[in-house]
Amino acid sequence: MAGLAFEGPNPDVDVLDGINGLAKDAPHWVNKAMEYIGEYGIIAALAVLCLIAWWSARRRPGAAGSVAGLVWAPLAAGIALLANIPIREFVERPRPFKDHAGLAVLIPGKSDFSFVSDHATLTMAVGVGLFIAHRTYGLIGIALALAEGFCRVYMGVHYPTDVIGGFALGTAVALLLAPLAQALLVPLTTAIGRSKVFWLVRAPGVPADGRPGQDGEGSRVVASGPALPRGPKERDKDLAA
């Protein structure tokens, strides 16, 4: 299938020219920073964000369900990237710098197809996956995904619609498959939370499944407290014993 270019006025190209035009006027060090951020930095930031969210979730009661949701975020990204392989091959849209001369291309040499953007797909899938598990971390993740989309257009390697398509694909995979993923992952994380490697799911001292009195191997722990006053009948039973 041919690319998605249209004859006549094209808002997609106009937005591309406007955003990429910022790179033409920016200092060299700014473009180098944008190149690193857009290619690696935001993905690395999302990885750190997932680790922070995991560390926090381990410390809450009922951590197994929360950790299962956090595990789904990178899994959703992987599935979305796999789903993008046939989409790219079907659409066969060339990179914008191949059809439009004069773009400031910060990362030359990319020869694969443009629609949809892998980076936009991956980052939005992670962001939405995090949002399902934890609203605050999810909003940060989604903001990072939006920044990633801007960077891809700024660098001249994607059309805006490539990015929008990636956002849609990542969101669809993360949302639509979330119920099935939770059904499979929650029992798994619950089992891990009761095993010798329970620290992967919950911090030491946090009860398994939100139920008080369980350690990593599922044994009961009896809570201690001050002795209650006993009545005459209880004292008589003690003396008789």
In the chain, where are the structural domains located?
A: 11-193
pLDDT at 171 over 60: yes
Q: Residue 11 has what pLDDT? A: 86
Q: Residue 188 has what pLDDT? A: 92
Reported as a single tens digit per residue, the pLDDT across 87-125 is 999 988 999 988 888 888 888 878 888 999 999 999 999
- Neighbouring CB atoms inside 10 A of 212's CB total 10
Q: How far apart are CA 215 and CA 41, in angstroms?
A: 39
pLDDT at 64 over 90: no
| Confidence label for 213 from pLDDT (cuts 50, 70 and 90) | very low
Q: Residue 157 has what pLDDT? A: 92
Q: Which residues have CB under 8 Å from 138's CB, separation 6+?
A: 127, 128, 129, 130, 131, 132
Weakest-pLDDT range from 116-130, 147-161, 181-195, 207-221: 207-221
Looking up tokens 């001050």, which residue turns up?
226
Q: How far apart are CA 119 and CA 167, in angstroms?
A: 9
Of the candidates 123, 171, 116, the residue with the CA atom closest to the CA atom of residue 144 = 123
| Confidence label for 233 from pLDDT (cuts 50, 70 and 90) | low
Q: How far apart are CA 165 and CA 117, in angstroms?
A: 7
- Neighbouring CB atoms inside 10 A of 19's CB total 17
pLDDT at 186 over 60: yes
Q: Residue 118 has what pLDDT? A: 95
- Neighbouring CB atoms inside 10 A of 142's CB total 19
Q: Residue 222 has what pLDDT? A: 34
Q: Residue 111 has what pLDDT? A: 82
User: Radius of gyration over alpha carbons of the chain, in Å?
Assistant: 26
Please tell me the CATH code under which domain 11-193 is placed: 1.20.144
| Confidence label for 234 from pLDDT (cuts 50, 70 and 90) | low
Weakest-pLDDT range from 158-162, 184-188, 194-198, 218-222: 218-222
| Confidence label for 40 from pLDDT (cuts 50, 70 and 90) | very high
